Structure 1
Amino acid sequence: MVSKGRVNDRTYRGASVIELIHTASLIHDDVVDDSHMRRGVLSVNAMWKNKIAVLVGDFLLSKGMLLSIDYDDFDLLKVISKAVREMSEGELLQIEKAQKLDIDEETYFEIIKKKTATLISACCTIGSLSVSLDKNIMQQMESFGYLIGIAFQIKDDLFDYSGKRLGKPTGIDIKEKKMTLPLIYTINNCKKSEKKWLITSIKKYNKDKKRVKEVIQFVIERGGLSHAEKKMYEYKNKALKQLEYFPNSPYKSSLEMMINYVVEREK
């Protein structure tokens, strides 16, 4: 879309670096979350324990960095290095908030911007940067990536209440004490006694299947899902708006299709 269909070796290297970094982050995430399944199959840490998983993640991370260094793609390396830093900060912030459960929507959006949207933003930025030095275009694509990344994460959070999450059982976020948007909205918009019950459920009964189901039902009844869906569509529409800067083309149409897929997908 940025270069009217023309790509070069830097484009392919940028895509390869992103994939290596992304895979490394998923392997490390499974260690941090003590998750034994990844997309319906055993995770690396489940098969070969945490030590091997951490080392494999580190190896992939270093391979990605070296790929940029070996070809002097230092501008691309700067983008991905910033993304890795922000992803780590987001994970640490989420762990901190999971301990205290003192999270509002502003903090939630800060977490998902760093944890998820920053990587998708880096994808868009590197794609643009690989074929164009126009800073305005790069900034447009960077913003686009953040917007669609946030919509993507909200959709992922909604799966915890739908039973359609591939490879992860319903209620897994509650089990891991992750404060997602539907839950945050419900906690901040219910009676004091109900708020106390919710927080106690997450802190002490997060592995009780019956209690988790009750929490899920309560969140649904109190409009937590509706609120999250509304926010998701707001970010989707902002992402579509961002593309208006570019002329119509098959590439632009593909991105528009991707945006719609992000919010309509069922897994």
Structure 2
Amino acid sequence: MKEILESSSFMPSFKEAVLTLVDEYTKRSDCLFGRLAGLHYQMFSKSIIEIERVAAAVELIMLAGDLLDDFVDQDGLKILWTDAMFVTSLHIHMAIGLLLAGQKAIADLPIDDYKKVRAQSYILSRLLQSLNGQHMDVTNDIQTETDYLQMLKKKSGSLVAMACFVGTALAGAEKNTVIIEKYANDIGIAAQIDNDIDALYRWDEKNDIKAKKKSLPVLYMLASKRDNLLKQYFSNHIDYNELYAQKEKVIQQMEQEGAFYYAKVMSQIYKEKALQEIEKLDV
């Protein structure tokens, strides 16, 4: 990732800021999307000379998405910057720069042009799908479990699919796309359910409850026949400060009602569905 950015035409001060960001990012990230891209390239390609650059390019694109996601949700910005007014412009510029650097790295690969065009087509189409899912999420356009799962498929499943498809397209093995799309979506849904469960335990770091996002455990509690604090909050009978003051009780109610257990079971179901599709691959 650093090699790609070092060779970019970014002005020195901006390049330094982006390289510092990558340092921080790689300390807390397993670079799973890049590894997915590299894995799919390796599965279907006879040559794996460019595998690390393929993985790095995808990871730069995903880092750009993380920056924009944090900006929209107002999560985690304080970790990297202290001046909120400075954050706004630099944050957006970094995201755009990383997105373009990742795309250019793919365009510069010594691979057949048709394969690179197909890979970039998948990047654009899946990023657009993810944007639609993100819009559903931030506008709280979720009323039912079906809405929630459809949002996750768009928001998260499409990003997993993008990483898988980049490697597959660059290897020239697009006949596998139907199977790959199915298990990629299932992996994305399962992973996001797990993330949403984690966010409910980390109120001081995440804004999900304050923003009234209806994740699977929250939907479960809202559908409960029993009265609970989340119901009172979502129906505006108590405000966020009143809810936060009783956050331990909120978690306790969710555990006692089985909201977390239900969400974990749903996550496991999608993981099992993904494994069933993966078994169909002729690799």
Tell me which interval the TM-score lies in, with the shorter structure as reference length: 0.7 to 0.9
Deviates more, 1:44-53 or 1:117-126: 44-53
Correspondences of 1:61-76 after superposition (within 5 Å): 61-71=99-109, 72=113, 73-76=116-119
8 Å Cα contact 1:175/1:202 also seen in 2 = no
Could you tell me how far 1:187 is from its partner in structure 2? 0.7
Corresponding position of 1:146:
185
RMSD of Structure 2 on Structure 1 (CA): 3.1
Could you tell me how far 1:30 is from its partner in structure 2? 1.5
TM-score (norm 1): 0.76
Change (3 A) 1:45 1:77: farther
Q: CA–CA distance in 1 between the matches of 2:259 and 2:132?
A: 26
8 Å Cα contact 1:129/1:138 also seen in 2 = no
**Pick aligned residue for 1:27 from 39, 46, 67:** 67
Change (3 A) 1:141 1:196: closer
TM-score (norm 2): 0.72
8 Å Cα contact 2:200/2:209 also seen in 1 = no
Provide the secondary structure at the position in 2 that maps to 1:174.
Answer: coil
Deviations 1:23-70 (A, max 9, x none): 0011111211122358xx436985941111011101111222233344
8 Å Cα contact 1:108/1:180 also seen in 2 = yes
Q: Aligned residues, how many?
A: 238
**Pick aligned residue for 1:204 from 236, 239, 261:** 239
**Pick aligned residue for 1:57 from 90, 95, 110:** 95
Deviations 1:107-161 (A, max 9, x none): 11122112222111111222222224341x2322222211111111111111134
**Pick aligned residue for 1:123 from 163, 187, 193:** 163
Could you tell me how far 1:192 is from its partner in structure 2? 7.3
Corresponding position of 1:103:
143
Corresponding position of 1:158:
197
Provide the secondary structure at the position in 2 that maps to 1:228.
Answer: helix
Could you tell me how far 1:12 is from its partner in structure 2? 4.3
User: Unmatched 5+ residue regions in structure 1?
Assistant: 249-267
User: Unmatched 5+ residue regions in structure 2?
Assistant: 1-38
Q: CA–CA distance in 2 between the matches of 1:202 and 1:51?
A: 37
Change (3 A) 1:206 1:215: farther
